[in-house]
Amino acid sequence: MSQSSIPDFFVYGEPVRPLDVGFLHVETVLARSNIHRGEVAAHKHPQMGQITYWTGGSGTYRIEDRSWDFSAPAVSFVPSNVVHGFSIGPGTDAIVVSVADDALAAIAGQSVLPLDRPVFADGLPHHAAWKRLVAVLEMIAAEYAEAQAGNDKMLPALIAVALSHIARLGPDGTASTTSSEASLALGLRRLVDMHFRDNWPVDRYVETLATTPHLLDKAARAMLGTGVKRVVSERRLLEAKRLLLFTVRTVEDIAYEIGFDDPAYFSRVFRERIGEAPAAWRRKQLRGH
Within a domain: residue 12? no
Q: Are residues 111 and 204 in the same domain?
A: no
Last residue of a domain, one of 147, 169, 191: 169
Q: Given strand 119-122, what is the order of strands in its sheet?
A: 24-28, 93-100, 48-56, 74-78, 119-122
Q: Are residues 49 and 159 in the same domain?
A: yes
SS3 state at 122:
strand
SS3 state at 93:
strand
Last residue of a domain, one of 169, 192, 220: 169
Q: Are residues 204 and 111 in the same domain?
A: no
pLDDT in tens, the chain (289 residues): 445 577 887 777 677 778 787 889 999 998 887 777 888 888 888 889 999 999 999 999 999 888 889 888 899 999 998 889 999 988 899 999 999 988 898 888 888 888 888 899 887 666 778 889 999 999 999 999 998 888 888 999 999 999 999 988 876 543 334 456 767 887 888 899 889 999 899 999 999 999 999 999 998 887 777 899 999 998 899 899 989 988 999 999 999 999 999 999 999 999 999 999 999 999 998 887 5
Within a domain: residue 5? no
Q: Are residues 258 and 187 in the same domain?
A: yes
Q: How many CB atoms lie within 10 A of CB 24?
A: 20
Q: Are residues 40 and 139 in the same domain?
A: yes
Within a domain: residue 175? no
pLDDT of residue 182: 66
Q: Are residues 80 and 212 in the same domain?
A: no
pLDDT of residue 105: 87
Within a domain: residue 101? yes
Within a domain: residue 9? no
Is the separation of the CB atoms in 140 and 82 below 8 Å? no
Which CATH number covers residue 230? 1.10.10.60
Q: Are residues 144 and 250 in the same domain?
A: no
Within a domain: residue 8? no
Last residue of a domain, one of 137, 169, 201: 169
SS3 state at 95:
strand
- Domain count for the chain: 2
Q: Are residues 220 and 112 in the same domain?
A: no
Residue of 143, 142, 165 lying closest to 154 (CA atoms): 143
Q: Are residues 207 and 282 in the same domain?
A: yes
pLDDT of residue 22: 83
pLDDT of residue 173: 47
Q: Are residues 165 and 188 in the same domain?
A: no
Q: Are residues 144 and 60 in the same domain?
A: yes
pLDDT of residue 3: 56
Q: Are residues 265 and 194 in the same domain?
A: yes
Dmax (CA) for the chain in angstroms is 59
pLDDT of residue 176: 39
Residue 193: domain span: 180-288
Within a domain: residue 100? yes
Which CATH number covers residue 88? 2.60.120.280
pLDDT of residue 15: 76
Within a domain: residue 7? no
Residue of 269, 105, 80 lying closest to 186 (CA atoms): 105
